[in-house]
Structures are given as structure tokens and as C-alpha cells.
Amino acid sequence: MAAPEAGLAGDLDEVSKIMGRIRSEDEACRIAAAREIRRLTKTSSRHRRQLAGAIVPLVSMLRSLSSDSGEPAILALVNLAVKDERNKTKIVEVGALEPLLHFLQSTNSSLQEYATAALLTLSASFPNRPSISASGALPLLIKILVDGNPQAKIDALMAVYNLSTISENLGIILPLHPIPPLLCLLKSCRKSSKIAEKCSALLELLVSLEEGRAALTAAEGGVLTIVEVLEEGSLRSREHAVGILLTLCESDQCRYRDIILKEGAIPGLLELTVQGTPKSQVKAHLLLQLLRSSRSKRSELQAGTFDSIVCNIVSKMDGGEQMGKAKKMLADMIKVSMEQSLRHLQQRAFVGSSPNKPP
């Protein structure tokens, strides 16, 4: 027998033995088989296909609601589902959601974390999202976003974002008060991280509704945190951040304009008109136009100053000027525009550090 054929025969023999053990009446035998499935499917798409028949017995292990059987079963199912759409949908179809929701509520933080990872993996499949949404997973995921362990919080964030792409779910998510824990996570992570990107993306979806806009601006440091992402985030995060601020201002300019200005958004917006993604640049221009509008003549003069500089830079860029010159012009623009923002930031820092600050 040729070597490749011998290897394939050996694989099939091993798979056959594992399939026998995962269907065993003996719990210890099933647990050992689940661990072996997890090992084999960790990086092998071939083994994910070959062991797809283990999905039904693994879900049966979940239904026992035993922590001893639940943990290896969840971990095996997660690996079977990774990068395999067929396995993802089959896991949901054969009834995995109900026991997974049970483990989401476990007082065992590890089990809760593994169940959250499973829902994240399953929610990556578009066909699964309506079923997961209807299962009642969202309230549990938001709760984990509040009090789960660090990894569970991250996975819950990603899962909620996946489910939020169904527009009807935004109306379910917002009454669960997700914005404070999202801001907390955003404040604590690196603004250039993938976590910040997902937080910003989810917040941009949530502020499309008035309840979301009110919650963001009512939260302590809410708009400031978005401004920090605008300045320090990855290109994608900055695109979401300017989208959030633009949505606020477009929805009610009178209500949100001063809030955005007071948190020092202008320098980041001006930089974004040159260095952002094409979408960011468009959004930054639109927002700058909204922020320039004021009933105050003094404000109109200041707005006209930075607006004319922005227009000058854009015209030069469109005319093919080199980036070095554009950056020099950008520096001049920021110098002109920062005075008001810096004054506010210095005042806020002074108040925050004052020993006489009232409790």
C-alpha cells in the first residue's frame, strides 16, 4: 500500500474508533473521545469533515448539563465549527443552543467562557444568527459583557456584534444597557486593538437609535472615549468613531454639537481629512461642516478659519501635491484649531486634580 493511502487508512481507522467511543454508554469513554476530537480538529479541516458525525453525540453530552461532560463537549464542538460552515449550522440544527445557554449562566467561569466562545463561533455563520437571536442569548451575553471574566467579555462583545447585524436586534440589545460595559471595555483596551474596532463598530450601530445616542452621551466620559479612539485608534476604529460622532450631530445638531466640541474632537477630525480611509475622510468633512455652524459670530469666525484651512488642504491634495506638504499644512491647521479644545482639556484636567474638588 502506498504511503499516502496508508496514512488515509490510518486516519479513517482512528476516526472510526473515536466515533465508537463517543457513542459509548460509558461517560468516561465519551469524555476521552471528546477530548481526542478536540485535539484532532484543532487545526485540521480534514478531521473536521471526518468527525462531523460526532456532532450529534457531542450535543447529547451537552444536554446532560454535567460540567464534567459539558466542558470537553463544548471545546470539541468549538473546534469542529471553526472554519466549517456546514458544521456550524448542523450544531445549531441538532439543538446545541439550549444547553449552551445553560452553561452561559454557570457559576463556573471557565464553563461560562467556553460557552461564550461557542456562541461566538456559531454566530459567525449568518444562517445561525436568527436562531441564536431567538434563543434568548442576547441578555445573557450582555450580562457576561458586564461581569464575565476578561476572555468571556471579549467573546461576548464579538458575539453581540455578530447578532447586531440583524437590525431588529438593536431594539432588543439597547434596553439591556450595553453601552456602559462597552465603554468600559473600550476605555481599558488599546485604542488600536481589534477589541476597540469591534466596540466602536457596535457602538456605531447602537447610536443609530435615539436611545443609543442618549445612553452614550449620558455615560461618564462617553463622548470623550470616542474622541480618544478618533485620535488613537486603527484606521477602521477611527472610521467607526467619526461615524458615531457624525450620527450624533446629524440627528440633533443643536443638542450634540457643543458636546463634541467640548471633548476636543476637532484636531482628530482635521487629521482624518488627510490621513483617514476614504469613508473616514468623507465623514470627517461632513462633521466639520456641521460643527462649523453656530449662532455665535465668534464661533462662526473660528469655524470659518479651520474650515477654510480644511478646504485648502483638500484642494491641494486633489491637485496632486506631495504628502509631505500636506502634512505640513495639516500641522498648521491643527495649530490654528486646537486652541479652544486645549483650553477645555486643560480646564478639565485642573478640575479633576484639584484638592478642593467636592466629593
The C-alpha cell that represents 250 in the structure block: 446629524
The whole-angstrom separation of Cα 36 and Cα 51 is 11
The C-alpha cell that represents 303 in the structure block: 469655524
b/e map 261-295, b = 16+ CB within 10 Å: bbbbbbbbbbbbbbbbeeebbebbbebbebbbebe
pLDDT for res 314? 46
How many helices, marked H, and strands, marked E, lie in the chain? 22, 0
Compute how many other C-beta atoms are within 10 angstroms of the C-beta atom of residue 325.
12
pLDDT for res 297? 40
The whole-angstrom separation of Cα 257 and Cα 138 is 33
The string of DSSP letters for 285-319 reads: HHHHHHHH--S-HHHHHHHHHHHHHHHHHHHHHHT
The whole-angstrom separation of Cα 23 and Cα 70 is 15
Span 83-111, pLDDT tens digits: 999 999 999 999 999 999 999 999 999 99
Does residue 321 register a pLDDT over 50?
A: no
What ranges make up the beta strands (E) of the chain? none
Span 60-86, pLDDT tens digits: 999 999 999 999 999 999 999 999 999
| DSSP at 128 | G
Span 233-258, pLDDT tens digits: 999 999 999 999 999 999 999 999 99
Q: Which of 248, 266, 270 is nearest to 257 (CA)?
A: 248
The whole-angstrom separation of Cα 97 and Cα 290 is 46
b/e map 9-39, b = 16+ CB within 10 Å: eeeeeebeebbebbeeeeeeebbbbbebbbe
Greater pLDDT, 316 or 36? 36
Greater pLDDT, 341 or 93? 93
pLDDT for res 122? 98
The whole-angstrom separation of Cα 147 and Cα 113 is 11
Cα angle for residues 92, 113, 102 (degrees, 5° grid)? 55
Q: How far is CA 156 from CA 66, 132, 147, 198, 317, in A?
A: 23, 13, 11, 11, 42
The string of DSSP letters for 223-256 reads: HHHHHHHHHHS-HHHHHHHHHHHHHHHHH-HHHH
The whole-angstrom separation of Cα 11 and Cα 6 is 9
pTM of the model: 0.81
Span of 137-141, 188-192, 280-284, 319-323 with lowest mean pLDDT: 319-323
pLDDT for res 150? 96
229, 237 in Cβ contact below 8 A?
yes
The whole-angstrom separation of Cα 137 and Cα 310 is 46
